[in-house]
Amino acid sequence: MQYAEYESKVTFVYDNGALISLEFGNVSGRSPIPNHKHNDIISFLKVYHNHIITKWLQFYVYKQKVKSEKISKKVNP
């Protein structure tokens, strides 16, 4: 996940098909996303996690082309 000049790795943690948590990790050579922005990222990912995982599966597992999307709708925390 990128925010301005910052970047962090976000791991989706599922249990029985349900998202239970998100874990933030560092990306080598990049400054991590500031903690005060984590809540915004968590809110966004909770809304779009199914869509993200579906596109990930299409691209990496099924080797299908996926369209990139620009999301301009605000997500309420």
What does the pLDDT look like over 28-77, one tens digit per residue? 999 999 999 999 999 999 999 999 999 999 999 999 999 998 888 888 76
Q: What is the CA angle 9-56-59, rounded to 5? A: 130
Domain presence at residue 74: no
> What confidence score (pLDDT) does residue 58 get?
96
In angstroms, what CA-CA distances link 3 with 8, 19, 50? 9, 23, 21
Domain presence at residue 39: yes
> What confidence score (pLDDT) does residue 77 get?
67
C-alpha count within 13 angstroms, C-beta hemisphere, residue 30: 15
Q: Are 6 and 24 in contact (CB under 8 A)?
A: no
Domain presence at residue 75: no
Number of domains into which the chain is organized? 1
Task: Give the range of the structural domain holding residue 48, as residue numbers without chain letter.
Answer: 2-61
Domain presence at residue 68: no
